[in-house]
Structure 1
Amino acid sequence: MSSLDDNELYMGCKAYVEGVSTSYGYIPSEGAGIAFCVLFGLSMIVHIVQFCWKRTWWCSLFSIGCLVELLGWAGRTWAAKCPYNSTAFMLQISTLIIAPTFFTAAIYVLLGRYIQLFGRSSSILSPKLYLWIFCTCDVISLVIQAAGGGLASSESDEVNGNTAPGTNTMVAGIVFQLASITIFVFCAVDFLRRSIRLGYSQALLHDPLAYLLGAMVLSVVCIYIRSIYRTIELAQGWSGYLITHESYFVGLDGVMMVIAVGVFNIFHPGWLLPADHVFAKNQAGLESGVREEHQLHLRGEYTGHGQQ
């Protein structure tokens, strides 16, 4: 095939040509693309309504993540009609790698709110440190993955290009992200241990806060599963079994991310967390050392806020 034909094939919108493989190793499913566009679009709209209504502006991170996922799946829907289009390929691969970072950032903030609620002694790190440390790790991971993706993409355009260095760099970025999430999980477990020791087991396990905690755990598990899948997928290379079979991508990336963000539509922090002024009172109560009175006060304030 001539260079002119190549340009027409990869820059235009050509139907599948028998014997000419696509960058995906298959033709992306139009049905799956539309379905996930709808799911992430609906979740985004609901999150926007929820965080505007309850004025929990940090929850906009969920909406931004949904928007980025929506762009990625729009790219895959586009690729269903134009399977060779390089713009559609780069759109979906870049956005679907970035999107989970916004969900993890929101979870980092959420844990920070828990720490504010139960007091600084409930955590080894302050809420601000959680946000700075783990969001910085996510940014570093994205930079590494982006650098690897750019290198692999440039090499794939060459006749005898070697995509292995770029692919290995992308794997390193995902492994780094997986390691940071693992450390965060250990910190979250330490928070639970400290909180229970401080006497907050009732609030954590029986009050409405327990539903939000369960949502956070489910979301982290889904993100973790997705990260493991992407690590193995890229480690196998661009022609590996996982990356060339769309069902794995749909189930272990798309479905996992829908659950990870959709669970917070049902158990939204704006509904289940106490108001900001309650956080301030709780913090003051802990600093004064009035532990038992503070716990009773917390339950009273919390119940009142939940009825708004």
Structure 2
Amino acid sequence: MTGMTTAEMVEISQGCYAFKPELATQYGYIPTKAAGITFCVLFGLSMVLHIAQFCWKRSWWCSVFAIGCLVELIGWAGRTWSSECPYNSNAFMMQISTLIIAPTFFTAGIYILLGRFIQILGHNSSFFTPKQYLWIFCTCDIISLVVQAVGGGLASSESGVSGGNTALGTNIMVAGIVFQLVSISIFMVCAIDFLRRIIKLGLRRSETGSFTTMMVIMALSVFCIYIRSIYRTIELAQGWNGYLITHESYFIGLDGVLMVIAAGVFNVFHPGWLLSSVESLALPTFQDKGYRLTNVVEDR
């Protein structure tokens, strides 16, 4: 928006003006309205389902998935707004600040879920206790969330100012995403160790249907979030005028679609149902083998 007076820039960034070829948007393109509406609907439906499911099963900790969907919904609503008002800085800030942090809520749910498995299967199944998983990885999530939110706020505010320097905010955002990648990587190592211990303890194949399903779903969700985080790291590292950030198709495919999968799999295979099956099958199996189990804390 160079070549404009400060008053003109303020007016166009706060109003709703049609796209002008000679005046670039903060995105480098005009967000597609159909994509915005589609993802608003998908995340909205997932959120409603998550709310209904965790209320029905009284698995209140699953509310983090609903919160994640709400944050995604707000972000895609901002992009839908930008499709009509491509120069509006509030719409841009709304989407960049929310979509960058939304996956944090899903990873928090996955961390809690593994802790629940350890509660059910006993302390022998992990070198961390459920409380340690909660404190270590959820604390990492909070740190990542705060860092990304601060960076997103700084970058988006500077991007709407003539001559504004977005480097500091962008670097902070990248640091937050990289920190999240590191914490997810460590979690994946812990999850692999958990599986190794379960196999060693000898949970019978015939009794692992729900357990295997839940682990596959967790792995799929983590994989989607992990790939998305790698994409966002590269995208932001290229800068606000980089190739990835100025081509919407990459954002739709490597952020929007992946996050729909990460959220939706827990609607189809909800932990509230599957954990009950795992508990009823795993407890007798391990008790028969003489392993001392931790107390299982019921949600209901």
1:269 aligned partner: 271
The alignment of Structure 1 onto Structure 2 pairs a total of residues equal to 289
Spell out, residue by residue over 1:6-41, the C-alpha distance to the aligned partner (whole angstroms, 9 max, x if none).
122100111101211111110000000000000001
115, 121, 124: which one aligns with 1:121: 124
Matches within 5 A, 1:16-31: 16-31=19-34
2:77 paired with 1:47: no
Spell out, residue by residue over 1:61-88, the C-alpha distance to the aligned partner (whole angstroms, 9 max, x if none).
1111111111110110010000010110
2:221 aligned partner: 219
Cα distance, 1:223–1:73 mapped onto 2, change above 3 Å: same
Cα distance, 1:165–1:91 mapped onto 2, change above 3 Å: same
Cα distance, 1:116–1:250 mapped onto 2, change above 3 Å: same
**Stretch moving more, 146-155 or 128-137:** 146-155
Spell out, residue by residue over 1:126-165, the C-alpha distance to the aligned partner (whole angstroms, 9 max, x if none).
1111111111111111222223233333443443333223
2:289 aligned partner: 292
Cα distance, 1:203–1:152 mapped onto 2, change above 3 Å: farther
2:153 paired with 1:150: yes
Matches within 5 A, 1:26-175: 26-175=29-178
1:305 aligned partner: none
4, 23, 38: which one aligns with 2:7: 4
2:231 aligned partner: 229
1:258 aligned partner: 260
2:244 paired with 1:242: yes
C-alpha contact (below 8 Å) 1:26/1:245 kept by paired residues: yes
Spell out, residue by residue over 1:228-259, the C-alpha distance to the aligned partner (whole angstroms, 9 max, x if none).
00000000000000000000000000000000
- Consecutive unaligned residues of structure 2, counting only runs of 5 or more, are 293-300
SS where residue 208 of structure 1 aligns? helix
C-alpha contact (below 8 Å) 1:203/1:209 kept by paired residues: no
Q: Identity over aligned residues, as a percent?
A: 66
C-alpha contact (below 8 Å) 2:81/2:91 kept by paired residues: yes
Give the AA of the match of 2:35: A
How far residue 221 of structure 1 moved from its aligned partner, in angstroms, is 0.3
Structure 1 residue ranges (4+ consecutive) displaced by more than 4 angstroms after TM superposition: 275-279
Q: TM-score, normalised by structure 1?
A: 0.88
- Consecutive unaligned residues of structure 1, counting only runs of 5 or more, are 296-308
Give the AA of the match of 1:61: V
C-alpha contact (below 8 Å) 1:195/1:201 kept by paired residues: no
In the aligned structure 2, how far is the partner of 1:162 from the partner of 1:149? Answer: 13
In the aligned structure 1, how far is the partner of 2:213 from the partner of 2:97? Answer: 33
SS where residue 251 of structure 1 aligns? helix
How far residue 208 of structure 1 moved from its aligned partner, in angstroms, is 1.9
**Stretch moving more, 81-90 or 47-56:** 47-56
In the aligned structure 1, how far is the partner of 2:214 from the partner of 2:69? Answer: 19
C-alpha contact (below 8 Å) 1:28/1:76 kept by paired residues: yes
How far residue 293 of structure 1 moved from its aligned partner, in angstroms, is 6.6
Cα distance, 1:273–1:24 mapped onto 2, change above 3 Å: same
In the aligned structure 1, how far is the partner of 2:51 from the partner of 2:146? Answer: 28
In the aligned structure 1, how far is the partner of 2:260 from the partner of 2:154? Answer: 30
C-alpha contact (below 8 Å) 1:73/1:92 kept by paired residues: yes
Higher relative contact order (CA 8 A, sep 6+): 2
